[in-house]
Structure 1
Amino acid sequence: MALVCGAPLAQAAAVAQVVVIVDTSTSMAATNMDPHQVSLLVTGLLADIVPGAFAVVRLLDVGEDSRLIPSRKTGERVRCSESPNGQCQRVEAQGDWETLARQGRLGVLERGARADRRFRGALPEHLKQKANNSMFALAFRAARGVFDQLDAGPPRTVIWLSDGQDDNPDRVRAAIGELKADGVAIEAVLFGQGDAALARGAGLEPRVVPTPADLMRAFAAALRTALRAPYAIDARVQEQPVFRILDGAEQVWVVAYGDDSLKGATLTGPGGTVVADYAAAMLPKAGAYRVAYLERPAAGDWRIAVQGGGAAAAYAVIQFADLTPVLLSPTGAMAGTPALVEAQVRIGGAAGTPALAAQLTSTRLTLEAEGQSVGLNDAGRDGDRVAGDGRFGALVTFPRAGVQPVTLHLDSPLARRSVSGQLEVGGALRFGAPVDLDLGTLGLAAEACRPLPIAPTMHAGEVPVQLAALRALPADHRLALRLPTGELEPGGGALPFAPGAAAILCLRTGPRAPHSVALGEPWLELRAAGTHGEPLTIRLRWQVQGLGFLARWGWLLALLAAALVLALIVAGFMVPKRFRPTLGLVFVETREELDEVQPLSIRRQWRGVGAGFYRDARAYLHGNYRLSGRAAGALACLKAEARYPRALPVAQQLYRESAEGDWEEVAPQGYPARPGFDFRIGERGPYFRLSNMSR
């Protein structure tokens, strides 16, 4: 198995993705900050030499950039963040500025090829110190937008040049945190008297640069970070003109810098003389630089000479080799058993050629896996098979089975890389005969625990195990297996189980557990997770002195009885039939009056004619032409039914008029009194008729 970081490179060439965020606020023009714009000079230097993708982000101004970050004026005047003695108008953002900055890469100037004249021509205007706001959160979002459009693989670095002041520090810290979570390296560079609190609050340690020379050194260090090339040489020419190029360096940049009188620089060494003409720039009062570039230079001592640049002229050396650590073996390992881990350093990615012996000088390879860090060696000891063959080895014991994440670190003078991958670690766990366990007697809200005598026939390494139930437990019963790594429950997840580890099985009961007895039935099985091997069957005995049926369910029975009584009471009032509110009655002395008198609502007009408890509504007709609920002295009765009331005789005979106009006697069980039908009480009256009334 090979561990690689991104896609293999086609050739041994440095590639990086670098975004420089430059503080272009008006406060940077102060005499104790960057009045001569050294930041412009060093940004141009990086643009001249960074291999790969390069972009510069300026700060946005609420007023000047209103078309990019729309806002609404509030009419309120506040103190200006960049000019404490001035007054600025407060505005409210329209939309999400941070999202706009990322999606639109606002304030970004992107370089094409290394010698991009259009880019260099636009850079001075782009970095003018004219912003009246310090909104670095937007700048970091824009930087992320630059990375969004680039292919993953090359190392990504943000170089943040500022005075440490911002209008919204919390948003800056959040934006930095998201970039760091994406694996972006962030180098914070702080001018002179700037405030380091913001950078430190974001987990960064800023490089403080009180002078232009310090800024050059800081940017050289940031470039080494971007290229993952740690070997550092920074010196003054007068004090240390000789420097060493390491054996195996593939690309070397030498940057000479000084004041604006610097006219040239040359290198002399084992490979002859090299003129620093790879890149050059001068900015009045800010300084000047000259860059020499060497491919696969001769190793050894080299001397630098400069023409002009002042007494403080200095230089920085960046040496790069495209070295990548590759894990050669094992492709798999057995947990608990020492495995030979071998790795190699290659040029140009995992598919490249082995590194040269000179490139491996002072090289360290370290494997990190499962919380352990193991150093690999090429000295023919501690697992390495042959000394000096370029294959680093060590014996590593992986305690757990499964797919394990591993990281291989390379640390050498020429390169610092870390690549991650996965290693399949196997394990072995085989169980023997079923296990019998007696948990004893326990009561309510109790726990009984006993050691589980597990005796695997084979157990190699820490193997994840799972617990499964073979039958349903009684209510308020719970079984659990305690391991040193946690507690397993039936149907739950898996936990690592190491050889010789103790296992304790527990039965817990709740406060409402019923009586239960186990007589040695198979209740559980323990198996290695993700395998189809034979599990360990666990047969259990116990006796729980819990609640009886009435003690456990008496409350429910009482509740059901109460609900039944309540339902009966409610039904006593709901079931009986009632007169409709629109049912009217005409009750008069003569037949002719039936057509002359307006009907009156039985339900609304008369009292006592409603329904009772399990009794249908009744209306008794009395000789005074009134209705009531009293049967005493009544002449006839109307009883509410589902469709029509039933007319019943009481003290006298009751008649109804037939369709032929004859009067027919109503039987004792009554007759449905449909609206419009006429009834007569006795031989001469009185008469009554039901009718439907409007509401």
Structure 2
Amino acid sequence: MRSVIVALAMLLALVSGGGHAEEKHVAVIVDTSGSMSNNDRARYTVQVGKILADLLGDNDVLTVTRLPHSGGCSDGVDTGLMFRFDPKNRVASKRDLDGRIQYAGNNAFAPAIKTAAQDLDRSPNRKRMLLIVADSGGLDCPAISNPDLMALKKSGVTIAAINLGSHTGAFDTNPAFDFAEPAPDAPGLIDALAKVYQRFLGSEQVQTGRAADTIEVGISPLVDEAFLVVAADGPVSELESPSGNPSAAKVVPDYRGGGETMGGDGRTRGYRILRLVKPEAGSWRFSVDTQGNEAGWMLIQDSSLALELVSDTRVPKDIEVPIRIAVIDSRDGNKVTDPAVLALLAVRVEIEGQDVALLDDGSVPGDIPGDGVYAGLGTFTQLGKVPMPARLDSNSLSHRRVFSMDVVNASWRLDADVPEAVFMGDPLTLLVTTQPKGLPDLLSPPDRIEASIGSEIVTLRDDGTQGDAAAGDGHYTGIWRPQEMGQVKVVFTAHGGSPAASVEKTVEVSGVLDLGEAIPIDFGTIESHTESKGLLDLTSATVKGRYPARIESDIDLNGAVAEIKIGDDWVYPNTGAAEIELSHDGPRTWPVRVRAGWCLPNTEIPEPFHLTVNGEGPDGQSVELRIPISIQLSPSTWLECWWWILVIAILIALCIFIIYGYIWPARFPPEAGLQISPEEDLNEGFFHPIRGTRGAGAGFYRHARIYLQPDFRLSRHHQGAMARLIAGRGTIRLSPIGGALIEWQSVDGEWLVLGDEGGFFMPGVLYRGGEGQLFFELRSRG
């Protein structure tokens, strides 16, 4: 029983996937013959129908068509056999379904198929499926029903069958059916339904389990909507999302209120649905109370990733055409370009049974790698509407979509007129002429033709402008300037109008490097501390392509340097660091200059210098051009060259003068002082240290001096002084000033007058002044 419940949950969750992103029309034909009463006693098909009514959106269509109680292959449409769910009155619709599904009668599929087909034809823009559930092993009237089914299939309807029994019977070999699944018993019926809906809805990655008190699931990135479905062999309480889960735009714990169905065995079976809108990726936990009944759960995630055909739906027969499908985010319609997401995706299409892998690596001419558009090449061989199934796979999702391609027998043939060999950089006229194939009356001319050369696109037009000779004459013209050498593939692809097969041409692009004639550079006569300008002129060179070149110079001037300007920088060519690029669209001239310093010696230039341009041509051979350079130097005078030595000598002399001015003056001995007293007995006086007196120091080229004042003190000021003391080399001179009388006592005690010119101040000799009122003597401290 548990396997049946889990399988039922799987089916229901799969049905819910993607209901909001793309409107759907699901038509179910139920074999209501009497034999079905033994194969579905639990009435799981009724339970499935009820949950479909809850999960499908308000704009989706779900119809259930039963078989007539009697009838034959020739019976036509009978709308009384079909039941349509009313999304505005779900409760009543589910109740009506329960009463309509009664197993009785015989097998008569033809009128039921015609009835369902007529209703499906009214929804051409929806995602559609016709599902037949039967135990007959095939249709009763395939010759009548198969044309109706094939018409539906060509219009994009998925045709599926589930056969009750151990095999699929004739359904599996019927070309009108896309696939069929066997259902040997009641659990097998639910498993088969799950597989069918799984393929129809394009969701193969599912999470299932046995429902306990706690359910833990993993939500993948880019999920727009997710449904957690719990089905049990009894009542189911409301699902809860406890705190701690990642965030979501909306959490609906009891979506549509759930429901229940009474089985033929007398047992009531219930279900509950929890809905998440735009949930964050991560681990989620939910709680549920199944009241001890066996229960199973299923999570389906509706990723916002979808497929959109961006190439033309109208394609020519038997011509290889590019198929381009974009991976989009259905929430905003924008292409997905995140490399981390694209790296996990794989896109494939099926063209008339051939599997074609589409890649986003730029391998199809004109494509851009990593732009979210997957492309490949395919050929259609059948005329008319041909379904092209497409599939998007990743680790956590699988999305399917069927595109309807219109294969026509009318197309254009592109005749490209391109030279086999051209030179790089030269303007080349690309000419493509359109020639009709098939029915010319059905053809419309291309809007433009694009020439894809690597990542470069050149547009060719037939509008009489930009080099096109005349508008509407079938000749498409464009201008291409080759930018790479070697063999280049040019792929011409028509856009707009009727289909056309792409045409590929190979062009050999070669280069030329001829440095031309050497144009001499004459700098004239250069004087000291000046500069002379010239120009490296390679305008006579023939350059087709791009070639690195090195500029070197043998200029060797004492007192001057040569420089060349490359870009915004001046560089020295004689160091070998000057490199340029020669190209067909680049510069051909470069400023050069010679700068002279302060001193230009009188030297002779024995022969012209040269500026050498070295490069390597397209054939790998070395190319060299030697350009003669003329320079005349105007020698500097001796003073212009050596004036700095004179300045240095003057500065040195000035320094010596200044330093000597402080070294030469004599200073008083540090221990010298005067014993001064008003009495002849000097012991009555005081000792005055000379150097302890402010101003007793030497000056700039001035010996140290101090003045003796009549008031028994030493001073630096001469005003009112009676004597002056001047330091000498190991001596001190004493002289009177201001007419003062200074006397000194001889050995025999006689007082002698000190003349105005003064004399040596002799230690131990007693002096007096101030008319005999002041006595002093030169002594040493201590």
TM norm structure 2: 0.42
Bigger radius of gyration: 2
TM norm structure 1: 0.47
Which structure carries more relative contact order (alpha carbon 8 Å, separation 6+)? Answer: 1
